[in-house]
Structure 1
Amino acid sequence: MNDSGMTPRKVNNGTILVSCLVFVGAMLGAAYASVPLYRLFCQVTGYNGTTQRVEQYSETVLNQTMRVTFDANTSNGLNWAFKPVDRSVEPKIGETVQINYTATNRSPVATTGTAVFNVTPMEAGAYFNKVQCFCFTETTLQPGETLEMPVVFFVDPEIVKAEETRNIKTITLSYTFYPSQGAKPVAGLQDKIEDSAKKL
């Protein structure tokens, strides 16, 4: 303690406040960045069964088939009947095919949903290429409305060359529809962080 007896404590409190504000700012930045960065990482690497989005069809078609099965789910907050039209297809590897899902809004009001997706086994995600998919945009259904939603895809022929995927014979494409929210989850997190900062 020096002659004033209070200076060290004031400096320490100021340092703590600045540190907390820096930490809050860093957490806010991470909250904004984490979701898109993780999504980008998954799309580039196929991690966690994330499929690839492409703009063109495959130029190579092998004389070898891959069985592809389809799964459909909805979260508790979305009163939709959602299912694939066909449970499975068996295209040639590299062949571009279209399959369809249907969704029916069973609620008395218009609702909007967003689909998330993955494939299993997860190693196949990097080789499952989607040219067209309803999962790229939000889907709004009026009360009682039924919508047929196409998915256009192909399995990259490179799947037969990689050590970890060359023995895969069946791929499952799975979708889950969630209700779209007006407020983004990150925005809600931002409000909580700002409230915490005001209390410091």
Structure 2
Amino acid sequence: MARRQAHPDRGRRNGVIAAALASVILGMVVLSFAAVPLYRMFCAATGFGGTPRIGPAASPGAVGRMVTVRFNADTNPALPWRFRPEQVELRLQLGAESVAFYAARNLADRPVTGVAVYNVTPEKVGRYFHKTACFCFDSQTLAAGQDMQFPLSFWVDPALATDPDTADVRTITLSYTFFRSLEDAAGSGAVATAGPHVGPVVR
């Protein structure tokens, strides 16, 4: 019995399908790596999920009622630092730019690099909390036993008081959590315990 020969068009179609599938898989891999940084950029720009907005917008000056901002600090167990706010809370007027400080000490006997993430609660005020300068998402390296201060400047939009969803808010909590950077964790063989974060993030 004579063998049937493969049709050349079928081979070309299979090649096209294989190339298309490879492109889709490659695209999905790229998107999986980009998803977290892009999500953080979106949150920082919009205030979504309790993320304070970051940008050059100048404060309008003190024009509204008073609000209390409380400061919280957490450290992932994989990062051998002591991290704390320098002040428990600040009472300020809406629209007024303020400065606050956090402090950290490296408890290890070698340099260690950390990366901070942050949010505000209640989450609904994220769009109205503007940070004009902060240390978040930037790698911070402390030498063995080194102490360092981390300043931040911020203001709360007076629109907070006129939005029916946030008009009742009188206290806002700003929380920072420091994680070991992925690069530092990889160098010390501790990637698995570095924490649920992605390394340096484009702001």
TM-score bracket for this pair, using the shorter chain length: 0.7 to 0.9
Contact 2:113–2:184 (CA<8 Å) still a contact in 1?
no
Q: Distance in 2 between matches of 1:90 and 1:162?
A: 20
Q: Which moved more, 1:110-119 or 1:8-17?
A: 8-17
Q: Distance in 2 between matches of 1:176 and 1:61?
A: 29
- Residues 159/184 of structure 1: CA separation in 2 closer, same or farther (3 Å cut): farther
Q: Which residue number in structure 2 is paired with residue 58 of structure 1?
A: 59
TM-score normalized by structure 1?
Answer: 0.80
Q: Distance in 2 between matches of 1:56 and 1:166?
A: 22
Q: Which residue number in structure 2 is paired with residue 97 of structure 1?
A: 98
- The structure 1 segments of at least 4 consecutive aligned residues displaced by more than 4 Å after TM superposition are 5-16
Shift of the alpha carbon at 1:131? Answer: 1.6
Q: When the two structures are aligned, how many residues end up with a matched partner?
A: 184
Q: Which runs of 5+ in 1 are unaligned?
A: 186-200
Secondary structure of the residue that 1:116 maps to in structure 2? strand
Q: Which residue number in structure 1 is paired with residue 76 of structure 2?
A: 75
Contact 2:64–2:95 (CA<8 Å) still a contact in 1?
no
Secondary structure of the residue that 1:35 maps to in structure 2? helix
Contact 1:60–1:157 (CA<8 Å) still a contact in 2?
no
Q: Which runs of 5+ in 2 are unaligned?
A: 187-203
Matches within 5 A, 1:1-200: 3-4=4-5, 14=15, 17-182=18-183
Q: Percent identity?
A: 35
The letter of the residue matching 1:157 is P
Secondary structure of the residue that 2:87 maps to in structure 1? coil
Shift of the alpha carbon at 1:9? Answer: 8.9
The superposition leaves residues 128-169 of structure 1 with CA deviations (integer Å, 9 ceiling, x where unpaired) of: 111221215221111111111111111011111112111111
The superposition leaves residues 35-75 of structure 1 with CA deviations (integer Å, 9 ceiling, x where unpaired) of: 33212221222111111123253123134111111111111
Q: Which moved more, 1:93-102 or 1:53-62?
A: 53-62
Whichever structure has more helix as a proportion of its residues is: 1
Q: Distance in 1 between matches of 2:98 and 2:46?
A: 23
